Chain A
Amino acid sequence: MTTDLQRNWYPIASSSDLPKRHVYQAQLLGREFAVWRADDGNVNVWENRCLHRGVRLSIGINDGHELKCQYHGWRYANRTAGCTYIPAHPADAPARTICNNTYPTQEAYGLVWTGEEATGDVPALDGFADATVLRPIPLNATTDMVSEALVGYKWNESCLGFANADGSVTVSDSNGVSIRFFIQPTDSHRSVIRGIVNSSLSGDARKDALKRHSWLLQELRDQVEAAASQKEMPAPYEPVIARVAEDLVNIPAIREDGPAADLRVTVAEKEMTADDILKVRFESIKGGLPTFQPGAHIDVHLQNGLIRQYSLTNGPGETDHYTIGVKRDPNSRGGSVAIHDDVKKGDVLAISAPRNNFPLRRDAVHTILIAGGIGVTPMIAMARALNVQGLSFEFHYFVQGESHIAFSQEISEFENAISYHMGLSPEETGKKLGEVLSEPGHARHVYVCGPGPMLDATRKTAADQGWADACVHFEYFKNENEVDDSGSFEIDLARSALTLTVNDGQSILEVLRDNGINMPSSCELGACGTCQCGVIEGDVLHQDVYLTDEEKAANKSIMTCVSRAKSKRLILDI
């Protein structure tokens, strides 16, 4: 139940309480918060508990981009509070629904404000544009008792105080000095006095004022606490902590078929980052953007009706925008050319939430990132995450020439890790890959993204040199294999208790859709992994480039957009 108090804005910290790489602990109306400032300046006010085992996040580690729980190392992104990595599941991308509760936050008058259900802006305070924030004084008493005492607060004989309608107290003297006191209701019987003076003091004058009021307010505190100790104090608040996200509690709305485009974004920036490569920055029109993890991609729905997938290049904690790289493809079917030529700064586009079918392990002893051409984009995001966490990695960027190097600004964050291999012939590339992959070993992982032939070469070289399949991770831009859609077969849907026929020329995905079965999809070319489905029985004719050879041989899953049945019948886990 929301009370009036929960709709108010309250200051819960001084801005100076939040240096970088620190987690501040706060409480308001009984509810505890972990409060932290990311390196980009954004202040996060979150429920003070890890979603995993409930350990306080205020003892966690603020690495400037993410907040890491001390207990089992779950990491949460700046701004969104979405979980980005779970060390116990290093090969998986955490579900998007694993997201901590966040609370409205504003920074004004040198104070950090929040309120469980606060909306709009922090109330405007006339005369406090240049304020000096006093040292906050916590005390064990109700806000009413504190308010009453503050009305009588005096630093000289001319002081006169009164309570404001919003519960704060103003005290002014005859010299024009005025202090506005806010009373933070930590709990029903505990409060914090947060005062601001109506002038910007500096140097010794500031220090003297801060010392003087710290002393006087502590004297006031001792008196109020002495009085409070004689009184019966109200029972503590019992804030209800939501157990699961609302979208898990409620049945989701029925979605339209086809690739979902839940988000509307504006094109905030569009600039060339290399020859033929465009860097596009999307910002949300309303509300925040969902959490992403390194390796994630989004679907971009273009004005001409085409849908294209692009990897995010964002670093950890960069949660107020998405940035992608788009290469002008001379053989474009209309996607890349449309973005290069037709999309303009300020345009509104529909995009999907990020999906991660190329997750990055963070438990590797050493990680080798290999990028070819525009395949650099997911690698940029991965390298930035590894770099921020101080994990060991090297980055091999195969590129035509210097003018083709994209995202140099982002690369400058991890200059020591990057090697450029420029203008190599296929043979030279193969030889170089042989050197790069010369040392397979325990907990060493390879991630590669680039043109099909280069990926094939990397996977073959890795296999020849003794790398286990499970340690070589890849993402193809597209499926360049000829897809055979001939022949008809039956599919049994085990969970839906339906038997359907896939006819010559149809895909499983189309048949599912025609029969009202919702299946997420993205590239629909067998490259991205989104329309993956479990196989219970039957032989699969794999035609995708997403699954590894080992996974294909296991016959446990299928890409429903391109793959078919070798047998007469497939039983699918859907």
Chain B
Amino acid sequence: MIKLYDYELSGNCYKLRLLMSFLGLEHEAEPIDFYPGNQHKSPEFRQINPLGQLPVIDDEGLVLRDAQAILVYLASKYDTSENWYPSSDPAILGQVSQWLAFADGITTTASAARLHDAMFYTQIDVDVARAGANKLFRILDEHLYFAELDGQDWICPGDHPTIADIACFPYIMLSEEGGVSRMDYPAIRRWTDRFKRIPGFVVMSGVFPAGPAVEKEAERAA
């Protein structure tokens, strides 16, 4: 079984929990005390990941670090429909990769601001982190506004969400914990509603579920 070195409040670990839930993949979690225990910097953990970062997976002996890399690996290996990582279409693949890199930028800004506010990472310049997050959110909001105009629900073209959506979602959804409001990003806010309605969606602390969409409100009476 896949082992996930996990921290409950980590948005990067949440990305993997999301994908595994969407794919119906079972996993076992090995909790790492990131805060306040700082266990990810311990000598024991640095033998698993010399960068001293979460998440890490161990899939039958293959040890991988970096949330985006693990998304690529899990989707390629376990999603036979190729919906989540459409690797046969170079144009889509390029766009997915582009937004995976963008998600890394969200981590270094929005997630950093959250670490500062919620987990006392006082060495982080929170103003710089927030400004950086807002700059990225402006770009994504415009992208999603024009995607909607083309009838496209997700970050990349196609009828199905991709791992790019998963990679961007957690630290956007948690941004208010770092003092970054999403009020100015209505297209992002609508996209997060759609994301939460993907079958198999799970929450984490600080992320609330969405209500049913219009078309889903069918016959439900007993």
Contacts and interface: CB of A to CB of B under 8 A. Distances in A.
Contact of A64 (B146, B183, B208, B217): B217
Nearest to B182: A25
Nearest to A395: B221
A61 B196 CA distance: 12
A247 to B, nearest CB: 31
A230 to B, nearest CB: 16
A210 B212 contact: no
Nearest to A390: B220
A147 B32 CA distance: 53
Contacts of B190: 17, 19, 22
Given A207-B149, A394-B222, A214 B208 contact: no
Q: SS class of chain A's interface: helix, strand, loop or mixed?
A: mixed
A434 to B, nearest CB: 20
Given A210-B149, A392-B222, A394-B222, A138 B210 contact: no
A20 B208 CA distance: 18
A400 B150 CA distance: 55
Contacts of A25: 182-183, 189
B104 to A, nearest CB: 23
A393 B212 CA distance: 19
Interface string A389-426: 01011100000000000000000001111000000000
A386 B221 contact: yes
A50 to B, nearest CB: 13
Interface string B121-160: 0000000000000000010001001100110000000000
Nearest to A392: B222
Nearest to B134: A140
A387 B213 contact: no
A386 B189 CA distance: 28
A393 B219 CA distance: 12
Given A39-B214, A210-B149, A211-B146, A24 B220 contact: no
B146 A387 contact: no
Contact of A21 (B138, B149, B209, B214): B214
A27 B186 CA distance: 12
Interface in A202-220: 207, 210-211, 214, 218
Contacts of A22: 189-190, 193
A284 interface: no
Most buried by B among A20, A138, A386: A138
A570 interface: no
Nearest to A214: B142
Interface string A241-274: 0000000000000000000000000000000000
Nearest to A135: B145
A420 B213 CA distance: 31
A138 B142 CA distance: 12
Interface string A43-85: 0000000000000001101111000101000000000000000
Nearest to B220: A390
B184 interface: yes
B211 interface: yes
A129 B74 CA distance: 52
Given A19-B190, A25-B189, A207-B149, A393 B221 contact: yes
A171 interface: no
Contact of A27 (B145, B183, B193, B210): B183
B222 A393 contact: yes
B221 A387 contact: yes
B208 A59 contact: yes
Contacts of B146: 207, 210-211, 214
6 contacts: A17-B186, A25-B182, A61-B209, A68-B211, A211-B146, A416-B219
Given A214-B142, A218-B138, 19 more contacts: A20-B214, A21-B193, A21-B213, A21-B214, A22-B189, A22-B190, A25-B182, A25-B189, A26-B183, A32-B183, A68-B211, A135-B145, A138-B184, A210-B146, A366-B222, A386-B221, A387-B221, A390-B212, A392-B221
List the 7 closest pairs (A to B, CB-CB), nearest first.
A417-B221, A61-B211, A138-B184, A392-B222, A390-B220, A25-B183, A414-B221
